[in-house]
């Protein structure tokens, strides 16, 4: 899908309603992108079904008004033979029209399914390939809404659009054939066709207004629902159930009201269109009687009338589908807006070198400033991790520790200085390959609905239960896992809420170890745990330290005791470094002050 054309084809400016309709068609056609050929086939099949239906209607003419003789494909028919041929032709053509119509419907289903899959794939790729600092500015609710709700609405709009285009083609066929039968009666029909178009255009402006309100209400619904259910424990713990219920009910009511108003337009304009069609049929009948001077209607006039009767529901269907396509058009704008935002900030392309970790990792005079900000988060930061060692980055909140880890994991790139792996700049290496050799245990490690074993495997293609068991033992998690109802095959609920914080962290450590990491990255691994759970995790980390290199980021000091060397950060730079004993022995040093403060608090 091409995003660059969005402003030209999707943005709506003021002007005539007909101009807006043309922009509507252009917007949906642009969205189809790689699916345009399949969409064209679908529309062609719908038109073909209309052609076959017209042919079936015309086949009835010789039955009602026998002709003396008809020759076709070298065969001469007359009399009863001609009438029997007409019946056979009618039956064959009518069945063929029905079969082609079904094929067209199935084709629409396939196109929409592939289109929807493509939209979700494009949004997922954009999120995964987005610059991390830019992604941090994107609201999670907007991403979820675009990926789930908006894509559904966009695909519905596309379905209405394809049906409208097919019906519009059939309408053109019917009108052309009707004109060939009787141009006088066609003038009457044309008048009511124009009346139908006017009816549609009258609904365009209120449709845009109501769908804008509906889109806004849906976005608010997605954001508020994400806020509530992502923080449900907080809301319930603070006794905010009644207030939350009232707030969500108001949002639900606003959405229901916006949806109702936007949907009222379709049946209203449909009714107006049907009434004009009924009046049109009456006028056509009256005109046919006038042109026949009061005599019985000719077969051509009857065929025209049947065509007109079959045309009216097509016009109604075209009008409804166009209105619905316009209603869902706002979702296209919202979806494109989020996608375009992501595409505007792609992550920088990395190198192609294959990383090796035989000597160590080093930060050399690192600087980092987030885009759009003037103050540096990191300034002239230097540290070193030798293979087999553990280092700790210590400091108060805002010292730049988390940003430092994001640079190490390759989520961010330094704006100055460099990180080297065995002397090679990380920017020159294949970042994804480097990341595959890291094990990460964040402050609150995410666990997923699945078995314990599946959580240990996670994204690893290897499926070795013996190795998984070994990792659980190293992480001091095997004991509590064995006490679960089905051991490693026990299903964990969403976010593994049935496990304690310490158990979740040890399971996350087992998962990190299963990756066979060169470096374990521990981001505040015990800060959210109570004293007992913290000791359980620290005991596991102490055993793991013998076989792994570690980078530990901590605000508290207990995990820091595992480090061979400690780097104390303040104001985005390293202010001192040394071993635990060395730093505690500097009474005027920052680490010594932190140590004394923690001792008092303990």
* Alpha-carbon distances of 393 from 93, 521, 549, rounded to whole Å: 79, 11, 14
Residues 6+ apart with CB under 8 A from 480: 499, 503, 506
**Is the Cβ–Cβ distance between 223 and 139 less than 8 Å?**
yes
- What is the pLDDT, as a whole number, of residue 581? 92
How many Cβ atoms from other residues are within 10 Å of residue 373's Cβ? Answer: 9
Which strand ranges, in their side-by-side order, compose the sheet holding 390-394? Answer: 438-441, 519-523, 549-554, 390-394, 565-570, 573-578
* Bridge partners (DSSP) listed for residue 363: 383, 419
Q: Which two tokens stand for residue 89?
A: 């032709």
Cα 190 from chain centroid (whole Å) = 44
Question: Residue 585 and residue 72: Cα distance in Å, rounded?
Answer: 109
Contact 185, 304 (CB under 8 A): yes
Structure tokens at 9: 């084809």
Is 442:509 a contact under the CB 8 Å cutoff? Answer: no
Q: What's the distance, CA 419 to chain centroid?
A: 34
Specify the long-range contacts of residues 102-111, CB closer than 8 Å, at least 24 apart.
Answer: 103/45, 104/42, 104/45, 104/46, 104/48, 104/49, 104/166, 107/38, 107/41, 107/42, 107/45, 108/42, 108/159, 108/162, 108/163, 110/38, 111/35, 111/38, 111/39, 111/42, 111/158, 111/162
Look at residue 80 in the predicted model and tell me its pLDDT: 63
Q: Where are the domains of the chain?
A: 6-343, 360-601
pLDDT for the residue 520: 93
Q: Is the pTM of this model over 0.85?
A: no
Tokens at residue 528, please?
A: 């959210």
What's the token pair of residue 290? Answer: 């006038």
pLDDT at 7: 38
Nearest 5°: CA angle at 226, between 220 and 230? Answer: 155
pLDDT tens for each residue of 377-405: 999 999 999 999 999 999 888 888 889 99
Strand partners, 362: 384, 420
pLDDT at 362: 95
Fold adopted by 6-343: ABC transporter transmembrane region fold (1.20.1560)
N-term to C-term CA, the chain: 58
CATH of 360-601, one of 1.10.8.590, 3.50.40.10, 3.60.15.10, 3.40.50.300: 3.40.50.300
Alpha-carbon span 417 to 217, nearest angstrom: 47
Which pLDDT does position 192 carry in this prediction?
62
- Residue whose C-alpha is closest to residue 161's, from 15, 30, 268: 30
What residue ranges of the chain have pLDDT lower than 70?
Answer: 1-22, 62-83, 140-142, 145, 182-205, 207-208, 211, 230, 232-239, 263-302, 304-305, 493-496, 599-602
* Residue that is written with structure tokens 């954001």 in the block: 223
**CA distances for 597 relative to 239, 514, 600, angstroms:** 34, 37, 5
Beta bridge partners of 567: 393, 577
């Amino acid at each position: 899908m091409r995003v660059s054309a969005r402003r030209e084809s999707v943005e709506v400016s003021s002007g005539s309603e007909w101009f807006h309709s043309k922009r509507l068609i252009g917007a949906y056609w642009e969205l189809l992108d790689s699916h345009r050929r399949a969409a064209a086939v679908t529309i062609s099949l719908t038109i073909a079904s209309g052609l076959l239906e017209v042919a079936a209607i015309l086949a009835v003419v010789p039955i009602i008004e026998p002709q003396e003789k008809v020759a076709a494909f070298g065969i001469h028919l007359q009399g009863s033979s001609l009438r029997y041929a007409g019946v056979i032709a009618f039956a064959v053509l009518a069945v063929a029209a029905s079969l082609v119509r079904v094929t067209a419907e199935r084709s629409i289903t396939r196109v929409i399914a592939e289109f929807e899959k493509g939209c979700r794939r494009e949004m997922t790729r954009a999120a995964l390939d987005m610059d991390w600092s830019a992604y941090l500015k994107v609201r999670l609710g907007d991403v979820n809404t675009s990926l789930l709700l908006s894509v559904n609405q966009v695909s519905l709009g596309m379905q209405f659009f394809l049906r409208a285009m097919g019906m519009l083609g059939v309408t053109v066929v019917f009108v052309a054939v009707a004109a060939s039968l009787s141009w006088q009666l066609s003038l009457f029909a044309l008048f009511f066709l124009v009346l139908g178009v006017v009816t549609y255009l009258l609904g365009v402006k209120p449709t845009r207004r109501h769908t804008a309100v509906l889109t806004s209400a849906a976005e608010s619904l997605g954001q508020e629902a994400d806020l509530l259910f992502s923080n449900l424990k907080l809301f319930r713990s603070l006794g905010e159930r009644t207030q939350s219920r009232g707030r969500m009910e108001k949002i639900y009511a606003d959405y229901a009201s916006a949806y109702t108003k936007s949907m009222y337009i379709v049946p209203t304009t449909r009714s107006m269109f049907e009434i004009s069609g009924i009046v049109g049929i009456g006028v056509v009948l009256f005109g046919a009687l006038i042109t026949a001077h009061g005599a019985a209607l000719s077969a051509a006039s009857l065929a025209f009338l049947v065509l007109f009767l079959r045309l009216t529901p097509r016009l109604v269907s075209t009008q409804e589908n166009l209105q619905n396509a316009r209603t869902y058009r706002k979702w296209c704008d919202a979806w494109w807006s989020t996608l375009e935002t992501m595409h505007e900030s792609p992550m920088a392309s990395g190198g192609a070198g294959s990383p090796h970790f035989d000597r160590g990792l080093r930060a050399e005079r690192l600087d980092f400033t987030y885009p759009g900000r003037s103050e540096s988060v990191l300034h002239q930061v230097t540290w070193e991790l030798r293979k087999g060692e553990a280092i700790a980055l210590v400091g108060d909140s805002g010292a730049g520790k988390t940003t430092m880890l994001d640079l190490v994991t390759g989520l961010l790139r330094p704006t100055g200085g460099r990180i080297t792996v065995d002397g090679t700049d990380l920017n020159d290496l294949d970042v994804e390959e480097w990341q595959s050799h890291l094990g990460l245990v964040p402050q609150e490690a995410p666990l997923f609905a699945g078995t314990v074993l599946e959580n240990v495997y996670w994204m690893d293609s290897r499926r070795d239960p013996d190795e998984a068991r070994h990792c659980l033992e190293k992480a001091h998690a095997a004991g509590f896992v064995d006490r679960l109802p089905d051991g490693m095959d026990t299903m964990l609920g969403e976010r593994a809420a049935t496990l304690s914080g310490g158990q979740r962290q040890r399971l996350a450590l087992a998962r990190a170890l299963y990756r066979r990491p060169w470096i374990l990255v521990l981001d505040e691994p015990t800060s959210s745990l109570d004293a007992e759970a913290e000791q359980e995790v620290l005991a596991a980390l102490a055993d793991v330290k013998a076989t792994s290199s570690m980078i530990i980021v901590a605000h508290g000091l207990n995990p820091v005791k595992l480090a061979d060397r400690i780097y104390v950060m303040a104001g985005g730079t390293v202010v001192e470094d040394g071993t635990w004993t060395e730093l505690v022995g500097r009474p005027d040093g920052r680490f010594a002050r932190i140590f004394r403060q923690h001792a008092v608090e303990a």
